[in-house]
Amino acid sequence: MAKVRALPAEDDQPDRWEAQLRKGALEMAALASLWQGRLYGLEIIRYLEDRSRLVLSEGTIYPILNRLKAEGLLASEWVESVAGHPRKYYSLTVAGRRRLRLMAEAWTSFSSGLSRLLEPVLEKQEKLQ
Amino acid sequence: MNPEMPIESYLTTLRLHLGPLTLAEREEIVREIAAHVRDSAEESGASVESVLARLGPAEELAAQYRDGLLIRQASRSFSPLVLLRATLRLATKGISGIVVFSCGVFGYSMGGGLVLTALLKPIFPANTGVWFNDEQLVSSGVLFPAPAPPAHEILGMWYIPLALTAGSLLLLLTTFAIRRSLRVSQRLQSLL
């Protein structure tokens, strides 16, 4: 089946392109935030905000967590907190850890290849400035 | 004004738009979002309104949950209706969704059409088939009137198993192609 990636007109909208790129990486980022242990939604959002500027709207992360759980990559549990209400904690399942490792490998080789490709583009810009 | 008011109306809207999900799932989502709003407001000292604004409109949040469910269900379904509904949803999100939807409609109508003509062959034997004239395809399908000589029908009753097989294969192929693209679109959030 033919796959058309984008209309030429969309190339002129870097903001939208960047938004889609961030959104696409959010699933992997959410999984990565749980590598060291369980976190609840707001902690995941803060974690991602601190380390990357991925989160566009705080609402987007919750449906993604829901989907990753439905796919069996995450497990969740409600834990009572000192704040007086329970919080929903997420953790990686065995399948989730395996998937994240594969994603990390694919991403690293993809991004280093792309960075090499983009080197001349950024060099030229430096000379112009 | 009661400070609980905006969050209550937000959660009511959210619950309302989570309709297709099961009651248990719906309540769990609402509970999680309620905890988020409370924690976020307490932690940052921000107003409930600004926390809700950062979450985005309740309708949009619910739509993201619904899309996830729709595509998850469809990627395991064999029903053309469920599959086309999911691709129609994708088609509103971008060009690749439109391509998948068009291919789906084309595949289903061609496949279904072929199967239908196979069923019509016993009823209209003289009007159903594939007509050739000097090794050149003239026409095929169910035709009223049938093409006039020198064009002649070449398959006879063989038309039935051949059209049935080709039609079913096309239907199956379309089904699996759509399910595959739905699964890919799940990975590529950019489509959603």
Does B43 contact A42 at a Cβ distance shorter than 8 Å?
yes
Q: What is the pLDDT of residue A83?
A: 74
3 state DSSP class of B129: strand
pLDDT recorded at residue A126: 66
pLDDT at position B144 is: 84
Q: To probe the interface with A, which of B14, B99, B190 has the most A CB atoms within 10 Å?
A: B190
pLDDT per residue as tens digits for the range A63-97: 999 989 988 999 999 999 887 889 999 999 999 99
Instruction: Assess: ipTM above 0.95.
Output: no
H helices of B3-77, in order, are 5-17, 23-44, 48-55, 58-74
pLDDT at residue number B93: 75
User: How far apart are the CA of A73 and the nearest CA of chain B, in angstroms?
Assistant: 13
Strands of A87-92's sheet in order across: A39-40, A87-92, A74-79
Residue-level pLDDT at B191 = 38
CA–CA separation, B80 and A54 (whole Å):
36
Residues of chain B with pLDDT under 50: 1, 190-192
Determine if the pTM surpasses 0.95: no
Q: What local confidence, expressed as pLDDT, does residue B6 receive? A: 85
- The answer, for A23 touching chain B at a CB cutoff of 8 Å, is yes
Residues B100 and B98: their CA atoms lie apart, in Å, by: 5
Sort strands B128-133 and A87-92 into parallel, antiparallel or unpaired: unpaired
